[in-house]
């Protein structure tokens, strides 16, 4: 068998067969210039260079200008305003570097600080950091001994995590319809769905909009209530108590669409010391002490690298919330006359994690989304009626969840939005309403 010719270093060497050729020489020259610090144009097939993140002191407006935004193909040179844009600064970069240089990357002091920070923000005694908001829900239900034969009440409109967590433990998710105004599980619907088999209920502050906490407590009595506050960090109920303070435990998510993020992560908060201890064991292979395994368990811990990013964001939470609220109020003032927006219980304070709207009956959502995209504004589907996804079975009429599933949309809203971007979002959404 003949030997293969040696691979050409430059890939396509050009018709002359010379190693490199003009293109290759150009590439080398550009790379040499780059190494000396000169930016130079992009090479064919090369990904855009990452830009340095904006500084900790950058205002949201400056920060947004420094972010790379997706190119919008509809408008030559135009930019698509995205639904969300994570806001990271030099504080997050420094925090990661600190952890890397510490030599301790697994759960350590940063995780402990994050747990303490969430407990403090929510007025709870304990925080338990885990690998995602979904893991948080699953572990809490497991720690409450939810299992086969049990029913757990859950709002019908949601990202599927809470319903899936119930199903994965072998229990039955009993879906309750949402209120047509606040889009949260209606307390009356929770009360009506309760049976002798009901073991627990999950209440969701949907899109950061606080539930009617007092009415829920009254409707559920002694039933263990878990608050899915995945989207609700920084929101508060009508009585001023922070979201995350309701029920036996509350679960937060640190996903990039949430108010603070470290890529992936979650935190449980609770006042119950025994429950906190069970959660710590369950997230750690079912290991109570080194080598003492009490149940088969997964590794659902958070690393110190992630926790350090989340801590840097938690330290700026008030600034993040202020920016979100400023943008949300301005957008709601312009869009309220054209769209049915989510409304909160009187006196409550949402964090505006998502700015959602219900399109009128008959309006084609895909065409609406395409019309916004053509004008440079990303609009997304709002959420899901979980019974339609196929994992928890068909569950009778759930008309409000169904309407929001079919006609719900999410509009761009993020703290680093510029005023120009905000005005463009409002102009476009008014024009296509
Ligand atoms: C209401 C709700 N619960 C739970 C989750 C799950 O969080 P995570 O993505 O961190 O697993 C989400 C995520 O979007 C959510 O919206």
pLDDT at 49 over 70: no
Which one has a higher pLDDT value, 67 or 215?
Answer: 215
Q: Report the greatest alpha carbon distance in the chain.
A: 83
In this structure, which CATH number among 3.30.530.50, 3.40.640.10, 2.30.110.10, 3.40.50.970 belongs to the domain 90-315?
A: 3.40.640.10
With a CB cutoff of 8 Å and minimum separation 6, the contacts of 420 are: none
> What is the per-residue pLDDT across 177-218, written as a single tens digit (0 to 9) for each?
999 999 999 999 999 999 999 999 999 999 999 999 999 999
pLDDT at 72 over 50: no
- CA of 164 from ligand 1 middle (Å) equals 11
Pocket flag, ligand 1, residue 258 (CB < 6 Å): no
Question: Per-residue confidence at 396, pLDDT binned at 50, 70, 90?
Answer: confident
Ligand 1 atom, smallest distance to 266 CA: 10
Tell me the mean pLDDT in the region 410-433: 97
Question: Per-residue confidence at 78, pLDDT binned at 50, 70, 90?
Answer: low
- CA of 236 from ligand 1 middle (Å) equals 19
Residues of the chain with pLDDT > 90: what percent? 80
For position 288, what pLDDT does the model report? 96
Pocket flag, ligand 1, residue 139 (CB < 6 Å): no
Pocket flag, ligand 1, residue 159 (CB < 6 Å): yes
User: Domains of the chain: which residue ranges?
Assistant: 60-86+316-432, 90-315
pLDDT at 28 over 90: no
Burial environment of residue 365 by CB neighbours within 10 A (0 to 12, 13 to 18, 19 or more): middle
Q: Does domain 60-86+316-432 have CATH number 3.40.630.10?
A: no
Tell me the mean pLDDT in the region 350-356: 98
- Taking Cα atoms as reference points, which of 182, 322, 192, 336 lies closest to residue 259? 322
- CA of 69 from ligand 1 middle (Å) equals 25
| Ligand 1, atom 10: closest residue by C-alpha | 133
pLDDT at 365 over 80: yes
Ligand 1 atom, smallest distance to 135 CA: 11
- Which stretch, 13-22, 33-42, 66-75, 152-161, has highest mean pLDDT? 152-161
For position 43, what pLDDT does the model report? 32
Ligand 1 atom, smallest distance to 158 CA: 1
Q: Of 54, 164, 212, 258, which residue is the catalytic one?
A: 258
**What does pLDDT average to over the chain?**
87
Pocket flag, ligand 1, residue 204 (CB < 6 Å): yes
Ligand 1 atom, smallest distance to 137 CA: 4
Pocket flag, ligand 1, residue 165 (CB < 6 Å): no
Question: Per-residue confidence at 336, pLDDT binned at 50, 70, 90?
Answer: very high
Select from 231, 249, 401, 410 the residue to mutate for testing ligand 1; criterion: most ligand atoms less than 8 Å from CB: 231
For position 79, what pLDDT does the model report? 76
- CA of 162 from ligand 1 middle (Å) equals 8
For position 393, what pLDDT does the model report? 83
For position 27, what pLDDT does the model report? 52
Question: Per-residue confidence at 170, pLDDT binned at 50, 70, 90?
Answer: very high
For position 395, what pLDDT does the model report? 86
pLDDT at 20 over 60: no
Which one has a higher pLDDT value, 239 or 79?
Answer: 239
pLDDT at 1 over 60: no
Pocket flag, ligand 1, residue 132 (CB < 6 Å): yes
DSSP collapsed to 3 states, the chain: CCCCCCCCCCCCCCCCCCCCHHHHHHHHHHHHHHHCCCCCCCCCCCCCCCCCCCCCCCCHHHHHHHCCCCEECCCCCEECECCCCCCCCHHHHHHHHHHHHHCCCCCCHHHHHHHHHHHHHHCCCEEEEECCHHHHHHHHHHHCCCCCCCEEEEECECCCHHHHHHHHCCCEEEEECECCCCCCECHHHHHHHCCCCEEEEEEECHHHCCCCHHHHHHHHCCCCEEEECCCCCCCECCCCCECCCCECEEEEECCCCCCCCCCCCEEEEECCHHHHHHHHHHHECCEEECCEECCCCCECCCCHHHHHHHHHHHHCHHHHHHHHHHHHHHHHHHHCCCCEECCCCCCCECCCCCEEEECCCCCCHHHHHHHHHHCCECCEECCCEHHHHCCCCCCCCCHHHHHHHHHEEEECCCCCCCHHHHHHHHHHHHHHC
Distance between CA atoms of residues 228 and 204, nearest Å: 5
Distance between CA atoms of residues 366 and 379, nearest Å: 10
Which one has a higher pLDDT value, 286 or 39?
Answer: 286
Tell me the mean pLDDT in the region 292-320: 97
For position 138, what pLDDT does the model report? 98
Select from 135, 139, 161 the residue to mutate for testing ligand 1; criterion: most ligand atoms less than 8 Å from CB: 161
Question: Per-residue confidence at 34, pLDDT binned at 50, 70, 90?
Answer: very low
- Let me know if the fold of 60-86+316-432 is the same as that of 90-315: no
For 281, the token pair is 């064991």
- CA of 151 from ligand 1 middle (Å) equals 21
For position 249, what pLDDT does the model report? 98
Tell me the mean pLDDT in the region 334-342: 98
Question: Per-residue confidence at 394, pLDDT binned at 50, 70, 90?
Answer: confident
pLDDT at 73 over 50: no
Does residue 424 have an active-site annotation? no
- Taking Cα atoms as reference points, which of 347, 292, 330, 348 lies closest to residue 420? 330
Q: How far apart are the first and last CA of the chain?
A: 69
């Amino acid at each position: 068998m003949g030997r293969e010719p040696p691979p050409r270093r430059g890939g396509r060497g050009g018709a002359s067969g010379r190693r490199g050729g003009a293109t290759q020489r150009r590439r080398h020259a550009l790379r040499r210039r780059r190494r000396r610090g000169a930016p130079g144009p992009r090479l064919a097939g090369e990904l855009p260079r990452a830009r340095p993140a904006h500084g900790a002191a950058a205002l949201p407006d400056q920060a947004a200008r420094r972010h790379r935004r997706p190119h919008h193909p509809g408008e030559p040179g135009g930019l698509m305003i995205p639904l969300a844009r994570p806001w990271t600064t030099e504080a997050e970069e420094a925090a990661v570097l600190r952890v890397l240089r510490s030599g301790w990357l697994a759960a350590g002091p940063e995780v402990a600080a994050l747990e303490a920070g969430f407990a403090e923000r929510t007025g709870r005694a304990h925080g338990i950091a885990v690998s995602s908001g979904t893991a948080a829900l699953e572990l809490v239900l497991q720690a409450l001994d939810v299992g086969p034969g049990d029913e757990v009440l859950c709002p019908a409109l949601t990202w599927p995590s809470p319903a899936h967590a119930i199903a994965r433990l072998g229990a039955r998710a009993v879906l309750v319809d949402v209120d047509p105004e606040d889009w949260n599980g209606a307390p009356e619907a929770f009360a009506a769905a309760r049976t002798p088999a009901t073991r627990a209920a999950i209440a969701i502050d949907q899109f950061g909009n606080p539930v009617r906490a007092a009415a829920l407590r009254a409707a559920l009595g002694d039933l263990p209530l878990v608050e899915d506050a995945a989207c609700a960090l920084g929101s508060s109920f009508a009585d001023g108590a922070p979201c995350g303070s309701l029920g036996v435990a509350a679960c937060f998510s640190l996903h990039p669409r949430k108010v603070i993020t470290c890529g992936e992560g979650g935190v449980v908060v609770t006042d119950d010391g025994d429950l906190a201890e069970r959660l710590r064991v369950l997230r750690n292979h079912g290991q109570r002490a080194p080598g003492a395994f009490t149940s088969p368990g997964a590794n659902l811990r958070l690393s110190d690298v992630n926790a350090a990013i989340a801590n840097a964001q938690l330290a700026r939470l008030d600034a993040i919330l202020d920016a979100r609220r400023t943008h949300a109020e301005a957008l709601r003032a312009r869009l309220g006359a054209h769209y049915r927006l989510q409304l909160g219980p009187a006196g409550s304070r949402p964090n505006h994690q998502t700015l959602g709207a219900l399109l009128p009956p008959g309006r084609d959502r895909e065409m609406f989304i395409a019309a916004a995209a053509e004008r440079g504004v990303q609009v997304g589907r709002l959420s899901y009626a979980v019974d339609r996804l196929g994992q928890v079975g068909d569950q009778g009429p759930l008309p409000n969840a169904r309407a929001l599933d079919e006609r719900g949309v999410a509009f761009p809203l993020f703290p680093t939005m510029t005023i120009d971007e905000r005005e463009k979002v409002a102009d476009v959404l008014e024009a296509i309403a």
